[in-house]
Amino acid sequence: MPTDIAIAQAATLRPIQEIAARVGLRPEDISPYGHHIAKVPAEAVPADAADGRLVLVTGVNPTPAGEGKSTVAVGLADALALRDRNPVLCLREPSLGPVFGLKGGAAGGGYSQVVPMEDINLHFTGDLHAITAAHALLSAVLDNHLYRPNTLGIDPTQITWPRAVDMNDRALRNVVIGLGGRTGGVPREDRFVITAASEIMAIFCLADGLDDLVERLDRIILGYTKAGEPVRAGGLDVSGAMALLLRNAIAPNLVQTLGGTPALVHGGPFANIAHGCNSLAATRMGLKLGDVVVTEAGFGADLGAEKFFDIKCRAGGLRPGAAVLVSTVRAAKYNAGVARDQLEAENVEAVVAGSANVKAHVENVRKFGVPVIVAINRFTHDTDAEVAALRHACAEIEATAVEADPWGGGGAGCLDLADAVHAALESGEADFAPLYPSDMGLAEKVETIAREIYGADGVDFDGAALRSIDRLEAAGMRESPVCIAKTQYSFSDDPTKLGRPTGFRIGVRDVVPSAGAGFAVVLTGNVMTMPGLGATPAATNMRVENGRAVGLF
């Protein structure tokens, strides 16, 4: 089997005008970036068009073996197209950090990819660079204001606004800035987050147009005065300039799958340290252009799906009609404690034991009133007995489980999954509701998620976290949803607790504002908002040969 990039480079892509025409867009409605990528401004889509139906693709807790969630999302969209369902695929943009690190890109794989894959995984249309630049502008103006004249009375020791860069760089997690004497600025401690964890990214993905974007940027809490009063970005009069940097980026990007299905790839927050969903603008656009929108949320359902339902759907008034939970035989075995180098050996007993993780995620999604189908993404070494064991485990909780082969079969390998999803949409069973009401206090919201979604016995808040909650609620954020930053590898905040752990508590070390985005970020365990590179980064295998990318997956 050829590599992902070899498959993508061998494909014959359709002109982007042809892809646009499939969803009723004329050539003059789009702004092409070359032959196969285009920006689609919001005004190109009729606001009074009827909405299609929304399907979320989520997954079990990720494992080192990989589950292929984005690949299943692409394969499902192509399968729906083969069934003449007029789908639109809505995905996140990849971050350069994982691309050059360990995780890889976010364009799918095998014969279920969005293309042009190498452009999407690298600079694409520059959206993430624009977000990084807007973040850097605010950081620069903030420190310039500290230097002269600090009329806002910002306490340098209580600044919560970090810096950002779209790369994994552990050396930037904690830094000292402002050195170099009197003209070097105000010396203080600072930190960097990866762009995917920037509040600008979250705002970008939840804003309803440029005017709303500016209002949200104004609401960003930068830090506090010595009296403990919040200082917001609006006081620096720079939100207009930040919006100027983002004015082109805010339009969703139109590309295609290998099967020719229209795909809107826009925005890219991580789900373990941010809210993990593509832009609300792209999802809404997809609902106007297609009959079915297939979207995905990052990492496991305990992170991505919960935030999709409680943050994105709440903010955008979305009502998902069905969800797909991606699992694999290998993930079940890993969650039962099987070592990574033993995952290809048949082990039916381990599949049965590890299926507890799948069952927990199914039960959690159902708590939001959304019917869920389990997609068993089948790999080469999976045996019939193992697949049967996983299907039987799903049947024990009356969950439909369907085999899928998006990597090797593309859309044709996901036809059964497409049929199951269509049946769920037609059933009318969906009765979506968020997990908690908006008027619940921040600490109670964290407790609710910890108990209902993670299966924890409760939450232990550090003193700093409790003080932060009091300060945020006093600043008017009591009714905001919470965005829990937690390890993606476990329901708990300990990445070594696999499967469906019990008898644990969630530790919260701090709660920080994301007031412009409209939520509070809850930091648990040792989760980092700036990832690091592994001992052998993927970047060491990448190069250019004869003008083409080599080693990119």
Q: Say whether 379 is catalytic.
A: yes
Q: Say whether 308 is catalytic.
A: no
Q: Could you give the CA distance from residue 553 to residue 2 in angstroms, rounded to a whole number? A: 11
Q: Say whether 299 is catalytic.
A: yes
| Catalytic hit among 39, 53, 85, 92 | 92
- Closest alpha carbon to 40 in 249, 296, 317, 241: 249
Q: Could you give the CA distance from residue 245 to residue 240 in angstroms, rounded to a whole number? A: 9
| Catalytic hit among 379, 461, 504, 519 | 379
Cβ-based neighbour number of residue 390 at 10 Å: 27
Q: Could you give the CA distance from residue 418 to residue 404 in angstroms, rounded to a whole number? A: 10
Paired tokens of 498 = 């696999």
Decide if 291 contacts 85 (C-beta within 8 A): yes
- Closest alpha carbon to 398 in 429, 419, 377: 429
Q: Could you give the CA distance from residue 422 to residue 481 in angstroms, rounded to a whole number? A: 31
| Sign, CA torsion 269/273/277/280 | negative
Name the burial class of residue 473, with classes exposed (0-12), middle (13-18) and buried (19+) by CB atoms within 10 angstroms of its CB: middle
Cis peptide before 27 (omega within 30 of 0): no
| Catalytic hit among 39, 85, 103, 314 | 103
Cα-Cα-Cα-Cα torsion 541, 544, 550, 553, nearest 10 degrees, comes to 60
One-letter amino acid for residue 395 of the chain: A
Name the burial class of residue 417, with classes exposed (0-12), middle (13-18) and buried (19+) by CB atoms within 10 angstroms of its CB: buried
Q: Say whether 103 is catalytic.
A: yes
Cβ-based neighbour number of residue 280 at 10 Å: 23
Q: Say whether 92 is catalytic.
A: yes
| Catalytic hit among 106, 107, 271, 538 | 271
Q: Could you give the CA distance from residue 397 to residue 365 in angstroms, rounded to a whole number? A: 13
| Catalytic hit among 58, 63, 71, 283 | 71
| Catalytic hit among 11, 39, 63, 69 | 69
* 3-class DSSP assignment, residue 423: helix
Q: What does the H/E/C string look like for 365-402?
A: HHCCCCCEEEEEECCCCCCHHHHHHHHHHHHHCCCEEE
Q: Could you give the CA distance from residue 30 to residue 357 in angstroms, rounded to a whole number? A: 43
Length of the chain, please? 553
Q: Say whether 309 is catalytic.
A: no
| Catalytic hit among 299, 491, 504, 553 | 299
Paired tokens of 398 = 């009356």
Q: Could you give the CA distance from residue 462 to residue 111 in angstroms, rounded to a whole number? A: 47
Cβ-based neighbour number of residue 345 at 10 Å: 11
The residues annotated as belonging to the active site are 69, 71, 92, 103, 271, 299, 379, 407
